A = this chain, B = another copy of it.
Amino acid sequence: MSAPGALSRSVEDYLKAIYRLAEEGGTAATNDIAQRLDLSPASVTGMVKKLAESGHLEHVPYRGVRLTETGRLAALAVMRRHRLLETYLITKLGYDWSNVHAEAERLEHAVSDELIDRMAFALGEPKYDPHGAPIPTRNGDIERTALEPLAAMEAGAHVALRQVGDGDPERLRYLKSLGLVPMVELEVAARAPFGGPITVRLSGNPPEERVIGAELAASLLVERR
């Protein structure tokens, strides 16, 4: 739906979802894709066959799916659009970081590459979006970040918060209220055992402490200091 020669909205959503799944867990299973896109597994099978025929991915029936280079580039183009849109909406139009996701999700299928490039220029060619996710370049290069979840850090670790998921507005509002935004420096003050909460100390004056549930801590990506 974007510029000429474009893929359908559906196709773009599939490619993006498959890319993200591969990024996280290795192979993308039919079920995972269905869950991520809120579709029935049967629907996914159908689309996957079409995408295999169009050369966007390889499909071994009953096994899984892997993007081809073509598919990878298409997925990255969508992600570039999404992340630049989020950045633009927040920076230039006063959106709150907690609810830009939905708007970007619709626009990413409608904007042309020209518009995206103009936005990128207006923003000074940013490398990260406001949630800390790296923005792919026009050519499909993307920074391979080696971030770890906060949940994996041992007590005493010094880390910088680098990236948070952009999908859930409520969670984002909560994180912002805690001051947990990308680039904040943290020290892991304590870890409760058995999947309990993590306590972090914000480097401020005076330092403040935050207690973070295990699930939330698993979704915060940090870099060691």
A102-148 contacts to B (CB < 8 Å): 103, 106-107, 109-112, 114-115, 118-119, 122
**B119 touching A111 by the CB < 8 A rule?**
no
Chain B hits for A109, CB < 8 A: 110
Q: What are the residues of chain B within 8 A of A111 when measuring CB–CB?
A: 103, 106-107
| A95: Cβ under 8 A from any B Cβ | yes
Q: Is the interface of A mostly helix, strand, loop or mixed?
A: helix
What are the residues of chain B within 8 A of A115 when measuring CB–CB?
A: 89, 93, 103
Q: Which of A131-176 contact B (CB under 8 A)?
A: none
Query: Which residues in B have their C-beta under 8 angstroms from that of A92?
Result: 92, 122
Partner of A106, one of B1, B103, B118, B122: B1
* Complex: chain B residue closest to A108, CB-CB: B110
Query: Given A93-B119, A119-B93, does the pair A103, B112 have CB atoms closer than 8 Å?
Result: yes
Residues of B within 8 A of A93 (CB): 115, 118-119, 122
Of all chain B residues, the one with the shortest Cβ separation from A94 is B118
Closest B residue, CB atoms, query A118: B93
Q: Which residues of B contact A122 (CB under 8 A)?
A: 92-93
Residue of B nearest to A115 (CB): B103
